[in-house]
Amino acid sequence: MTIAKSDISRIDKDKMWDYLIRFPVHWQEAVEFSRNVDWALDSKKIRNICMAGMGGSAIGADLMAAYSINQCEIPVQINRSYDIPHWVGPETLFIACSFSGNTEETLSALDQAINKGAQIVAITSGGKLLIEASREGYGYVKIPGGMPPRAALAYSFVPLFRLFDFLGYTDENEGALLETLTMLREQISLFSDLGGNQALTIARELQDTLPIIYTGTGLMEPVGIRWKSQFQENSKILSFNNTIPEMNHNEIVGWEQIAHLTGRLSVIMLEDEGDHEKVKQRMRIARELIEDMTVYTTWLKTSGESRLTRQFSLVQIGDWVSYYLAILNEVDPTPIAKTELLKSRLAEL
C-alpha cells in the first residue's frame, strides 16, 4: 500500500501527523520557556533523585536518567507505582512528571514523598499537580497541554535537561539542545516525504509482524522503550524490547522454539557509538543467530555529535515508523480506547 495525503486525512482523524511535524517547534519552545526556571531547591541537600511518572509522562524521565548516567554523581530511579521506595526522604529530590497533572499513581507517590520530607519539583500541564505545586511553593514547570502525553515529549524532557544541568549532573548544555533542534528539523523534512523515506520503508517491512527492539544499556535503553510504547499506542500492536547483554543470557534461548511464529517476528536493533565494545560485538553475534528466524531485521545507528542529539536521532525515527505503520494498518494513531476503558472501570470501583 502506498500512502497519500488523502490516506492521512481519512485515517488520522485526530491529527497525530501535526504533532509529529511540530516536534522541532515543541523542542524550540521548551528550550525557551525552560531557560530561566526558578527551581526553588537546596541542591546541597540532594543525595538521590526519584522521578515518578507513568506512560507518556514518564518517557522523558527515562531518557534523562539514561542520558545522565555517566555524569550524574548520585543515584537516579524512575518510579512507576502508587508507592515510593523506602529510601526516599529529606535528601531526595522527588520529580513528579504528569502531563495531565491528575495521574493517580504519580499523585499517590507525591503525597508519600511530601510526607517523608523530600524536595519536590513538578513537570505538568495542569490538574491537581499544578495546583498543589503552586500552592505549596514547589519548583515546577507548566508545560503546554491539549495533546496526547506521548506527543509532548519535547515539553516533558527539555525541562528535565535544564534541571539536571542546573544541578551540575550533565556535561552538555545549551549547545547540545540547539544541535538536537537542528537535527530534528532536518529529520522532519525527510520523514514527512510520502514519496519515500527510511521510516516509511521500515514501517512497510514491519507490517503484519510483531516488532522486537534490542538495544544496549545506558543511552539507548529508553529509546527502545519509546519505540515499543509508540508501536503499542500509535500502531495498536504488541511490541517488546530488551537490552544486550541481558538478552544474551536468557531471551536468545527462547528463539529456539518459534516455528509457530514463522513469518511473524521482526527485529530492530538500535546502536550508539558510545555502547560498550563488547555490547556491539554481542549485538552482531545475536543478529547472526536469530536473523534466519525473522521475517525482517534492521539495524539503526545514532547520528550527531552530542549524546543528546544521538539519543533523539533514533527517538524521532521510531515515532514516525509507528505512525506510518498505523496508517498502513488503517488505524487512527491517537485514540487509546483500552486505556480509557480501563480508567473508566477503575472509576466505577
Residue 277 corresponds to which amino acid?
E
| pLDDT for residue 177 is more than 90 | yes
Final residue in a domain of this structure, among 171, 192, 220: 171
Query: Considering 13, 278, 301, 343, which one is annotated as catalytic?
Result: 343
CA 9 to chain centre: 26
Tell me the HSE value of 43 on the side-chain side, using a 13 A CA sphere: 10
296-316 average pLDDT score: 98
Tens-digit pLDDT profile for residues 31-53: 999 999 989 899 999 999 999 99
Query: Quick check: is 25 in a domain?
Result: no
Query: Considering 44, 86, 249, 260, which one is annotated as catalytic?
Result: 249
- Under the banding of pLDDT at 50, 70 and 90, the label for residue 349 is confident
Q: Does residue 218 sit in the same domain as residue 246?
A: yes
Q: Does residue 301 sit in the same domain as residue 213?
A: yes
Query: Quick check: is 123 in a domain?
Result: yes
Active site residue 15: no
Q: Does residue 198 sit in the same domain as residue 319?
A: yes
Q: Does residue 145 sit in the same domain as residue 190?
A: no
Query: Considering 105, 132, 179, 233, which one is annotated as catalytic?
Result: 233
How far apart, in whole angstroms, are the C-alpha atoms of residue 51 and residue 110? 10
**133 and 114 in contact (C-beta within 8 Å)?**
no
Q: Does residue 200 sit in the same domain as residue 143?
A: no
**72 and 48 in contact (C-beta within 8 Å)?**
no
| pLDDT for residue 262 is more than 90 | no
- Under the banding of pLDDT at 50, 70 and 90, the label for residue 1 is low
| pLDDT for residue 168 is more than 90 | yes
Q: Does residue 247 sit in the same domain as residue 321?
A: yes
Task: Give the pLDDT of residue 346.
Answer: 87
Query: Quick check: is 232 in a domain?
Result: yes
Q: Does residue 233 sit in the same domain as residue 113?
A: no
Q: Does residue 163 sit in the same domain as residue 51?
A: yes
How far apart, in whole angstroms, are the C-alpha atoms of residue 53 and residue 152? 14
Average pLDDT, the chain: 96
Task: Give the pLDDT of residue 231.
Answer: 98
User: Per the structure, how many domains does the chain have?
Assistant: 2
Q: Which domain holds residue 144?
A: 34-171
Q: Does residue 185 sit in the same domain as residue 165?
A: no
Query: Quick check: is 24 in a domain?
Result: no
Query: Quick check: is 15 in a domain?
Result: no
CA 3 to chain centre: 26
Place of cell 510504547: 229
Q: Domain of 155: which CATH number?
A: 3.40.50.10490
Whole-model pTM over 0.75: yes
Query: Quick check: is 16 in a domain?
Result: no
Q: Does residue 130 sit in the same domain as residue 241?
A: no
Task: Give the pLDDT of residue 32.
Answer: 97
Q: Does residue 318 sit in the same domain as residue 209?
A: yes
Q: Does residue 188 sit in the same domain as residue 237?
A: yes
Active site residue 233: yes
